[in-house]
Structure 1
Amino acid sequence: MKRYSCRNKERLVLVLILCIVAVFFMTGFSNNEQKGEEKNIIIVTVEEGDSLWKIAKQHMKNDQDIRNVIYDIREANQLLGKEISLYPGQQLKVPCRVAINGTR
């Protein structure tokens, strides 16, 4: 039977702690939303001539980067790849930052 030294046990504990911390941060603990705000999802029906840029611009706050808003829309709707086709009648989930008191 193999015996483990105290040094190996310390290493094992350190590795376990590092793994737990890594999982903690990867699951969203480090929330980059501004304080006093949360994300709500609204459903938008695509109309003729709409683009992700146009939809993002209509639903973003002044302090947001439109590229981040487009990324959030793509992620929420699992729109992968370089070429994204929208069609009239399609429904998109649009994450919107909303102040906790209810104003956008």
Structure 2
Amino acid sequence: MKYSTYQSIFPMNLENLQETRKEGKVRLLQVITNTLLLKLLILVIIVWVAGAGVLTVFAAPSVSNKEVIKLTVQPGDTLWKIAVNHKPERMDTRVYIEGIMRINALEDRGVQAGQVLKLPHF
């Protein structure tokens, strides 16, 4: 069969077809860009909220010199035992221990008998 008598029912306008393809590509780029921007925004919000939470947890109130009690460590005392006995009623013991460590510039949680510690007052 050399020649066909088939004729499409759709008009063959190549210019229209090329324009439609260009519009489709532009639309696809817009969708991808919008999706990436949305993901970036969500990531920024998550990092911001997490950072604010971390800063809140590790933030220690400043302690003035007037609000400090000095204590001599007795044999058998630990920072935990000292903190439990001297911390405010509703304060977490771990937070009070961090306050003791900061005000005394301690690098670890070990204390020795006879050592004088400053206790923060909150």
The TM-score, its normalising length taken from structure 2, stands at 0.43
Task: Return the structure number with greater relative CO, CA threshold 8 A, min gap 6.
Answer: 1
The structure carrying a bigger strand percent of its residues is 1
Structure whose alpha-carbon radius of gyration is higher: 2
The structure carrying a bigger helix percent of its residues is 2
The TM-score, its normalising length taken from structure 1, stands at 0.48
